[in-house]
A and B are shown apart, each in its own frame.
Chain A
Amino acid sequence: MSRLALDLPGLSLKNPVMPASGCFGFGREFSQLFDLSTLGAIMIKATTEAPRYGNATPRVAETPGGMLNAIGLQNPGLEKVIANELEWLKQFDVPIIANVAGSQTEDYVQVAKEISKVDNVHALELNISCPNVKTGGIAFGTIPETAKELTKRVKEVSEVPVYVKLSPNVTNIVEMAKAVEDGGADGITMINTLIGMRIDLKTGRPILSNRTGGLSGPAVKPVAIRMVYEVSQQTNLPIIGMGGISSVEDVIEFFLAGADAVAVGTANFVNPFVCPELIAELDQYLEAHNIDHISELKGRSWK
């Protein structure tokens, strides 16, 4: 068996590397560059019940070692995502993790119910951590009881395992993780972006039209590592770790912290070939270090 293959709830992964939601669209652009079947999985862009245009531009601003984004969950809506995007993705041999978002509980429930019926959707990623929408998103991800309740409601209707994407914009990340575990979550993905801001010196005003945005990229990696380290010791849920991964060393670090698999976000924008490159390099790394299987590294930093 491959050094990289592993099973997580709902997911039989060829390797533990997947593009993070919002950083890969629905895969079409990248399919011109490499075979999407090489990926462990694909976390598709957040899907809401109705189509969303998202926020006005500017929507991105660069920061030292990172970027701020405030896209605002732009997507063509549940119906079109199922009919066009997921249907198109069926040509690839890769499990899809559908990122589900909404403004209120009923939205999440409705999207989860319908999208979890699609053949190639093997798991859901409950987006309770988007910092760029006025209602919903992060509002569900900062109060433990609310997160637990939403997880429970979505679990009731979902036909596939449910992973909950945690926000780092909380005082106690372990409390949040335990809450969604109590709510019946099958896994955790973490972390979403950190809320930040940049101000234009010429105008004296925030650069982003949304004023605040989510910080991602290498700059947030230490925060993500710390949170995976804490959460992995306090819950029994598998963790798909993410936050600033751009090299094979970063991938290893997340496993050592306690992740079961990893997702790559912002790095896809800098190097669109980064995921297949990391998959190849990860195999070479394990070979060079005489590691029989990637899962041996999980949680070594605290075990």
Chain B
Amino acid sequence: MIQKELMTVVSQSEIAENIFEMTLKGALVDQIDQPGKFVHLKASEEMMPLLRRPISIARVEHDKQEFTMIYRAEGAGTTALSRKQSGDQVDVLGPLGHGFPVEAAASGETALLIGGGIGVPPLYELSRRLNEKGVKTIHVLGFQNKEAAFYTEQFAELGETYVATVDGSLGEQGFVTDIVNKHGLRGDVFYSCGPTVMLKAVEKLHAAPRGFISLEERMGCGIGACFACVCHPAADETGTAYLKICSDGPVFKAGEVAL
């Protein structure tokens, strides 16, 4: 069930350059039943910025009614959000969208998790859930550079973790796809989140017989009403079919969307 709630900031800190980790508390957490869903936040009560900001959920602690999100402070909305302090309230709408199907990987199987930049956070909760049910996870995380990297140790605690940076300042130099090829990484299922250009390259790797990708897109309403974040399905003879990233996604089966 989608709820709207004034949630309380439990903590907030800058964990990498312009990358913030914020933990929020409230009853809405009870509704988060799948990794890969997102929340839509009103960063300010003022009319600028007017619209909400979609942010992925990185970790859920149901017993404490808390969730953690990791986001990049970039524009007016996320910058305003980054100034929130413990005890402040944030207007949250969520959980929204369709997340990663944990059930797509069986106990004993291997899942390959490939994330790029600010697409990395939702893979963390996914990895936790997969590991809980006995799925082996291999993580490939790509960042611009050392300063922009985060959560590499947290992922390493859950499974084999490879880090790629564009400039080679952390882990190995190159893109996530280079790492997968170089080490011959394969899984029974892959899950990926990051920029569209990366997802396109990841789909072509065929690193697992089945896979799921999470798309990033500018959104309006976040619930499927405004038609701002539509995309074309891969199979569409008429040219008028569409999928809404916010409500049909943001997670799709690999190959489902024309990237």
From A24, A30, A58, B218 is in contact (CB under 8 Å) with A58
Nearest neighbor of B4 in chain A, beta-carbon distance = A273
In the complex, chain A residues whose CB is within 8 Å of the CB of B1: 32
Decide if A62 touches B226 in the complex (CB within 8 Å): no
B50 touches A33 (CB 8 A): no
B51 within 8 A of A: yes
Contact status A67-B223, CB under 8 Å:
no
Q: How many A-B residue pairs have CB under 8 A?
A: 96
Residues of chain B in range 38-63 having any CB-CB distance to chain A below 8 Å? 42, 47-52
**8 Å CB contact of B4 from A76, A219, A271:** A271
Given known pairs A33-B2, A60-B220, A269-B220, the reply for A23 and B226 (CB within 8 Å) is yes
Tell me, yes or no, whether B126 is within 8 Å of chain A by CB.
Answer: no
Q: How far is the CB of B186 from chain A (nearest CB, A)?
A: 34
The interface residues of chain A lying within 8 Å CB-to-CB of B241 are 53
Given contacts A66-B50, A218-B50, A52 and B225 within 8 Å (CB-CB): no
Q: How far is the CA of A269 from the CA of B239 in the complex (A)?
A: 27
Contact A65 B48 (CB under 8 A): yes
- Contact A270 B42, CB 8 Å, known A51-B240, A64-B47: yes
> What residues of chain B lie closer than 8 Å to A30, measured between beta carbons?
223, 225
Q: Is A105 an interface residue (CB 8 A)?
A: no
**Main SS class of interface, A:** loop
Indicate whether A146 reaches chain B with its CB closer than 8 angstroms.
no
A141 to B87, CA, bound (A): 51
Q: Interface residue count for A (Cβ, 8 Å)?
A: 38
Contacts of B231 in A (CB 8 A): 57
Question: Do residues A60 and B226 form an inter-chain contact, with CB atoms below 8 A?
Answer: yes
Residues of A within 8 A of B225 (CB): 23-25, 29-30, 268-269, 272
Closest to A24 in B: B225
Whether B218 lies near A269 (C-beta < 8 A) is no
Residues in chain A near residue B218, CB distance under 8 A: 57-58, 60
Q: Report the minimal beta-carbon distance from A183 to chain B, rounded to whole angstroms.
A: 30
Kindly identify which residue among B42, B51, B229, B242 contacts A62, using a CB–CB cutoff of 8 Å. B51
Within 8 A of B (CB), among A25-83: 25, 28-30, 32-33, 50-54, 57-60, 62-67, 69, 71, 74, 76-77
Find B220's partner among A24, A51, A69 (CB 8 Å cutoff). Answer: A69
Is there contact, CB below 8 Å, between A74 and B227?
yes
Most buried by A among B4, B225, B229: B225
Whole-angstrom distance between the Cβ of B91 and the nearest chain A Cβ: 8
Using known A-B contacts A32-B2, A268-B221, A269-B220, determine if residue A71 contacts B50 with beta carbons closer than 8 Å: no
Q: Residue B228 at the A interface, CB < 8 A?
A: yes
Q: In this assembly, does B224 line the interface, its C-beta being within 8 Å of a C-beta of chain A?
A: yes
Q: Mark B185-212, 1 if CB is under 8 A from A, else 0.
A: 0000000000000000000000000000
Tell me if A144 is interfacial: C-beta within 8 Å of chain B: no
Cβ-based interface call for B21 (8 A): no
Contacts of B213-259 to chain A: CB distance below 8 A: 217-218, 220-221, 223-232, 238-242, 247
Q: Besides A25-B225, A58-B218, A69-B226, 19 other CB < 8 A contacts?
A: A24-B225, A25-B227, A29-B247, A33-B223, A52-B240, A57-B228, A57-B230, A60-B218, A65-B48, A67-B50, A67-B220, A74-B230, A74-B242, A218-B50, A269-B226, A272-B2, A272-B93, A272-B225, A273-B4
* Closest A-B pairs by Cβ, 3 of them: A269-B221, A51-B240, A60-B228
**A-B contact list, 21 entries, CB within 8 Å:** A25-B227, A28-B224, A29-B221, A29-B247, A32-B2, A50-B240, A53-B230, A54-B227, A57-B229, A57-B231, A59-B227, A64-B48, A69-B226, A69-B228, A74-B227, A74-B230, A77-B240, A217-B50, A218-B47, A269-B51, A270-B51
